[in-house]
Structure 1
Amino acid sequence: MTRVPEGARVVLATRNAGKVRELRQLLAGAVPGLDVDAAVVDAGAVGAPDVVEDGVTFEQNALKKARAVAAHTGLIAVADDSGLAVDVLGGAPGIFSARWSGAHGEDRANLELLLAQLADVPDAHRGAEFVCAAALAVPSTPDARGVHSIHFTHVEHGRLRGTLLRAPVGEGGFGYDPILRPTGRDESTAQLSSAEKNAISHRGHAFRALLPYLVDALAARS
């Protein structure tokens, strides 16, 4: 049986505490009086199973995760899938960003392999962007068997353009943050404060675009 913490209203299909914190911060300003610490929980808090990300686009993976978690919990679900798209690689690593070196989540190995592959690429052609698809899935009331279907989904996208550096700079962030310098900035993404990063990031743009749909879904279920 799915365990849902008291007060939970939205589940973010991740176990990344940073992503949960970002969504809580967005909702805190959009839904007055909402206890965001109780209302927004991660996949681990509801015992949601891991979802295989076998889609061929960020949107497909985000939707698959959101739909699966919403059906499992009966809660409104939000999910995202994101990665780095390098111009001279035709958009790669793309959906394979987290496992570019062969093992999922090996940030340092992924970053070092990418830098080696781009070693001979001149600075003028080192353009890249972080890409994010954020998906919302709203479940129906359960049927006679207690099964939830999905009656509404929506997806928004966000991007952060920049230039790839030749070596990692900065200690913040994760993934490829130390090697992307956002357009118009002098620092790598890993050198930005959390507030600065959230204001311009691909995930921040996608979540903010998704926010009105999430607020409407919460209001409809209140």
Structure 2
Amino acid sequence: MEQTRRVVVATHNQGKLVEMRRILQSLLGRGQTGIELVSAADLNLPDPVETGTTFESNALLKANQTAELSGLPALADDSGLVVDVMGAAPGILSARWCGRHGDDQANIDLLLNQLSDIPDQDRTARFVCAAALVVPDGPEYPGGNRHTVRLGEMSGRIIRAPRGEDGFGYDPIFVPDDQPASADRPLTSAEMTPEQKNRISHRGKALSAILPVLVEWVLGDTGVQA
């Protein structure tokens, strides 16, 4: 019988947690790989303070702390919105752009106000995601603490008013360049189904890129190419 290995998804953000678990379960296949996904919240672990200066450093910080506290392999991501005309802001400050962490509506309102006089053709932006995997030292993982980081991006533009009820964060004001073939008009990320969004999203790309490493390091499947 195949042994199940637990991997901790290092987040307390409910919207992000739902999306990451949905993406990973879709990539892994339900119950077919021997990997069980649990969240940091499930294990009552603290939410790490993001003190890094890049998406990569913040993702690795969160994965390292979660792996250290749980003794389990940990998967974390750090992501945000990069607006070209704003010199790559909000960037790593995306979730707290308004000064309060996780206030999506206030963040959107502030960003739209800051871009109010910017012409439509100059409102280009992209979502960036860094996904980090840390496997802690221990008898089950010979060779010591291992870590890796993978990146994913989704390009698009910022519209002038929110549209859509799904997703979270800046999804209602972001129209991806890559659109579903069935769409009769450009959709925001918040107007797409979860499946449509995950196929093109920055988070989906980053997690897809890190998946072969996760399977190899956690399950010991050296036949999977990273």
TM-score in terms of structure 1 length:
0.87
SS in 1 for 2:21: helix
> What is the percent sequence identity of the aligned residues?
50
Q: Which residue number in structure 2 is paired with residue 157 of structure 1? A: 151
Aligned to 2:21: 20
1: CA distance between counterparts of 2:73 and 2:113?
42
- Other-structure match for 1:3: none
Whole-Å separation in 1 of the counterparts to 2:193 and 2:112:
24
Which residue matches 2:93? 96
Distance 1:44 1:8, change over 3 A: farther
Answer yes or no: is the 8 Å Cα contact 1:70–1:150 preserved in 2.
Answer: no
Q: Any conservation in 1 of the 2:138–2:144 contact (CA below 8 Å)?
A: no
Aligned CA distance change for structure 1 residues 220 and 8 (closer, same or farther; 3 Å): closer
Instruction: Give the residue type in structure 2 aligned to 1:110.
Output: N
Aligned length: 206
Q: CA deviation at 1:173?
A: 0.5
Query: 4+ residue stretches of structure 1 with deviation over 6 A?
Result: none
Contact preservation (8 Å) 1:71, 1:150: no
Aligned mates of 2:149, 2:90 — CA distance in 1: 21
Q: For the Cα contact (< 8 Å) 1:159–1:205, is it kept in 2?
A: yes
What is the alpha-carbon distance in structure 2 between the residues aligned to residue 168 and residue 200 of structure 1? 20
Match of 1:50 in 2: 47
TM-score for both structures, normalised by structure 2: 0.86
Cross-structure match for 1:169: 163
Structure 1 gaps, min length 5: 1-5, 143-148
Question: How do residues 61-210 of structure 1 correspond to structure 2 at under 5 angstroms?
Answer: 61-141=58-138, 151-185=145-179, 186-210=186-210
Structure with the larger helix share: 1
RMSD after superposition: 1.9
